[in-house]
């Protein structure tokens, strides 16, 4: 028999700096909620569910902050909650999808949406003799997050040397991707669309200046241009700070593709990224479920994005 709910909402999280703006709004509204810190936690199968709604805000990048146990714990908790009938936003299947770049590539391929050509491998020598290797290429972890452990490589020999010298790049799951390198105009940047349900919240252009950590949270990339904050724990690079701009002219085709991704993966909250290449390809390359919002961008569209998330949570209740 399911436990009687003791609160309306539980927010599962690992990085409080990302969640603080949402917590502030929930406090102001007087919503009955509890914080569930995934960094140090325990649960019994007889103890959950005990809330009307769970909102999963765990991040695949927890391991780069020294929290490698967060992801397996979260998966176990989400599965337990759902088996016992709990209502979970961005639950087990969505979180598992976010953890797997290879699954995202398969989904984009199935939907007929342009995506980077990718090869998954667990041994660099397994790449030898393949006739579809194209360099330069991007090395990425299967479970990424916040631009962690990404490297541009120009040859198989460079890849082999990189992995020999930095075996930690195989962590956390011993699976890597060699992905098509996609040039784009650095002055134009990439586009990130934020969704609540299947509805667009806003779109923004992100000018990278060569950085890989494009986390939208002001805790990672402060609005004052002060460089990367401490919340993401990704080593800074010698480049200008990432710039974020509201993007009013989102092409209808890009929005349609974003909605297809969100709906096909049954995501409740999502951040979808694409870039445009010099040869006019619009390539979707990253799908995020832990969607860190950026208040100044929402305000440029006339609203506070965290208020919109609170509205969404209240509707879900």
300-307: long-range contacts, CB 8 A cutoff, minimum separation 24:
300/246, 301/202, 301/246, 304/25, 305/194, 305/201, 305/202, 306/21, 306/22, 306/24, 306/25, 307/25
pLDDT computed for residue 1 by the predictor: 30
How many domains are there within the chain?
3
Domain that holds residue 296: 184-316
Residue 190 · residue 204 · CB < 8 Å: no
Whole-angstrom Cα distance, residue 96 to residue 235?
A: 26
Q: What is the pLDDT of residue 2?
A: 46
The predicted structure's pLDDT at residue 150: 87
- Beta carbons of 254 and 274 less than 8 angstroms apart: yes
In a domain? residue 43? yes
CATH of the domain at 125: 3.30.1490.20
Choosing from 46, 67, 97, the residue where a domain stops is 97
- pLDDT the model gives residue 218: 87
d(CA 311, CA 305): 10
**pLDDT value for 47:** 83
- pLDDT at res. 236: 56
Q: Are residues 194 and 305 in the same domain?
A: yes
In a domain? residue 228: yes
The mean pLDDT values, 10 residues at a time, for the chain of 317 residues are 71 95 97 96 89 96 90 97 96 97 97 97 95 95 78 96 95 93 87 95 90 79 63 60 93 98 97 95 94 94 97 95
- Give 81-126 as a DSSP string: HHHTT--EET-HHHHHHHT-HHHHHHHHHHHT-----EEEES-GGG
């Amino acid at each position: 028999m399911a436990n009687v709910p003791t609160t309306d909402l539980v927010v599962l999280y690992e990085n409080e700096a990302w969640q603080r703006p949402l917590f502030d709004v929930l406090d102001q509204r007087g919503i009955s909620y509890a914080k569930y810190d995934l960094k140090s936690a325990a649960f019994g199968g007889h103890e959950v569910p005990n809330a009307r709604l769970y909102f999963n805000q765990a991040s695949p990048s927890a391991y780069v902050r020294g929290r490698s146990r967060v992801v397996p714990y979260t998966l176990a908790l989400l599965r337990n909650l759902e088996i016992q009938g709990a209502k979970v936003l961005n639950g087990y299947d969505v979180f598992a999808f976010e953890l797997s770049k290879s699954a995202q590539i398969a989904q984009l391929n199935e939907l007929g949406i342009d995506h980077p050509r990718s090869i998954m491998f667990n041994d660099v020598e397994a790449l030898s003799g393949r006739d579809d290797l194209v360099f330069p290429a991007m090395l990425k972890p299967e479970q990424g997050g916040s631009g962690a452990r990404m490297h541009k490589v120009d040859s198989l020999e460079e890849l082999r040397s990189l992995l020999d010298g930095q075996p930690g790049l195989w962590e956390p799951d011993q699976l890597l991707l060699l992905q098509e390198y996609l040039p784009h105009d650095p002055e134009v940047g990439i586009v990130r669309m934020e969704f609540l349900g299947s509805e667009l919240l806003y779109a923004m252009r992100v000018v990278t200046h060569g950085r890989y950590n494009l986390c939208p949270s002001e805790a990672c990339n402060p609005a004052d241009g002060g460089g990367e904050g401490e919340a993401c724990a990704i080593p800074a690079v010698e480049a200008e700070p990432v710039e974020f701009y509201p993007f009013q002219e989102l092409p209808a085709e890009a929005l349609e593709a974003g909605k297809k991704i969100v709906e096909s993966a049954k995501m409740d909250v999502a951040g979808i990224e694409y870039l445009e290449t010099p040869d006019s390809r619009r390539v979707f390359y990253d799908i995020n479920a832990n969607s860190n919002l950026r208040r100044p961008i929402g305000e440029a569209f006339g609203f506070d994005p965290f208020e919109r998330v609170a509205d969404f949570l209240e509707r879900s209740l």
